[in-house]
């Protein structure tokens, strides 16, 4: 029996690509270019499965509703799947899967790295040293914000958020609160001595740090807008490792310039790889190029998880990580 034909839309780590070659008749993106809409439409005609990433064009009806479509499963390389129109996929009868769990701790590490970096002015200090502008220690030089013991609020409290809460509460004695429309069970909440709040606004008002862990797209687009940013305390910091479109970047720039909030740490952006120009020159912002899951171990595991979902589907089993 012929192996299913599978397309990987971007270059994957070598170990994951090797596994793909073992399991399937796979086509690799050797030069790692971003595929055009036309290429993705052709992929729907010529492959049994397509494995896209967050950096691709949105897999929507324009791509899915193609004549003589062969593709039956879209297996996303990533835990977020707002790069796929799941309603359009359902209408087309195409299965959609993602890769949860395997990137939890590395993304949580980046959230903590951003929190520490922006509050302790790490990026600013590092640039000062590299530019040979540091003229020595003094008692009032680059005074920053203490992290230990502060209040950390979460918008969304799923796996990644809980991993951040573990590090923050048990490692930095931070006081944890959160809002999530689908909260975890009480036993999970008790692990971090966390307080469940009723609204996003409640979290913003009481937190020294606010960290975003909610899905992107839909009603969450520009969730952190001018009005909500204004509810944060002037000494507070915003951390985003979720999806860039959750934050209104124009409103964020205004809030940072006017001192509405103290700073921000961002790993994701609304129009990646483009970053709102004003953010680039701000010293109270730490900017990372979407590094949340960027460890070799995690990216290999993401690839293997994506492939496992494809294999299960063609073996006649229910893919473990089906989202549509």
Between CA 283 and CA 293, with CA 287 as vertex, the angle to 5 degrees is 155
pLDDT the model gives residue 215 = 93
- Above 80 in pLDDT, residue 228? yes
In the chain, alpha helices (H):
14-23, 37-46, 61-64, 86-92, 104-119, 122-130, 159-172, 186-191, 200-206, 226-229, 249-257, 296-314
Percent of the chain topping pLDDT 70:
100
CA distance 275 to 256: 15
Residue 125 is predicted with a pLDDT of 97
Arithmetic mean of pLDDT over the chain: 97
Helices (H) and strands (E) in the chain, counts: 12, 12
234 close to 178: Cβ distance less than 8 angstroms? no
Average pLDDT value for residue range 164-175: 98
Tokens of 27: 């086509």
pLDDT value at residue 224? 98
Among residues 243, 249, 299, 305, which one is catalytic?
Answer: 243
Q: What is the pLDDT of residue 229?
A: 98
Q: How many whole angstroms separate alpha carbon 26 and alpha carbon 4?
A: 8
276-307 per-position pLDDT tens digit: 999 999 999 999 999 999 999 999 999 999 99
3-state class (DSSP) for residue 71: coil
For residue 255, what pLDDT is reported? Answer: 98
What is this structure's pTM?
A: 0.94
What are the structural domains of the chain? 5-102+296-314 (3.40.50.720), 104-287 (3.40.50.720)
Query: Which one of 120, 169, 290, 322 is the catalytic residue?
Result: 290
272: annotated active-site residue: yes
Q: What is the pLDDT of residue 36?
A: 97
The model's pLDDT over 111-146, given as tens digits with 9 standing for 90+, comes to 999 999 999 999 999 999 999 999 999 999 999 999
DSSP state letter for 212: E
Known catalytic residue at 159: no
Active-site annotation holds for 243: yes
Q: Note the pLDDT tens digit of each residue in 10-54.
A: 999 999 999 999 999 999 999 999 999 999 999 999 999 999 999
- Cβ contact 16:307 at 8 Å: yes
Average pLDDT over residues 74-82: 95
Residue 1 has pLDDT above 80, yes or no: no
């Amino acid at each position: 029996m012929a192996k299913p034909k599978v397309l990987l839309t971007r270059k994957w780590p070598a170990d994951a690509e090797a596994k793909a070659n073992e399991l399937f008749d796979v086509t690799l993106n050797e030069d790692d270019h971003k595929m055009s809409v036309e290429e993705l439409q052709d992929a729907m005609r010529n492959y049994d499965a397509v494995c896209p990433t967050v950096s691709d064009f949105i897999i929507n009806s324009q791509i899915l509703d193609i004549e003589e479509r062969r593709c039956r499963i879209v297996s996303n390389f990533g835990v977020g799947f707002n790069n796929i129109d799941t309603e359009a996929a359902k209408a087309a009868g195409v299965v959609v899967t993602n890769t949860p769990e395997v990137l939890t701790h590395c993304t949580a590490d980046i959230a903590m790295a951003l929190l520490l970096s922006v509050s302790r002015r790490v990026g600013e200090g590092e640039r000062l040293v590299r530019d040979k502008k540091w003229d020595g220690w003094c008692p009032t030089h680059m005074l920053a914000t203490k992290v230990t013991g502060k209040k950390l609020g979460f918008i969304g409290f799923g796996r990644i958020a809980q991993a951040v809460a573990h590090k923050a509460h048990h490692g930095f004695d931070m006081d944890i609160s959160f809002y999530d429309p689908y909260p975890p069970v009480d036993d999970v909440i008790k692990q971090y001595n966390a307080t469940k709040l009723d609204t996003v606004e409640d979290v913003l008002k009481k937190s020294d740090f606010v960290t975003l862990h909610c899905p992107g797209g839909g009603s969450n687009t520009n969730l952190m807008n001018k009005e909500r940013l204004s509810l944060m305390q002037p000494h507070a910091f915003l951390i985003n490792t979720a999806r860039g479109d959750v934050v209104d970047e124009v409103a964020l720039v205004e809030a940072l310039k006017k001192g509405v909030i103290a700073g921000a740490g961002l790993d994701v952006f609304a129009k990646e790889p483009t970053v709102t120009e004003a953010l680039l020159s701000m010293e109270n912002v730490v900017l990372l190029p979407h590094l949340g899951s960027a460890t070799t171990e995690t990216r290999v595991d993401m690839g293997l998880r994506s492939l496992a979902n494809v294999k299960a589907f063609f073996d006649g089993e229910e893919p473990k990580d089906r989202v549509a």
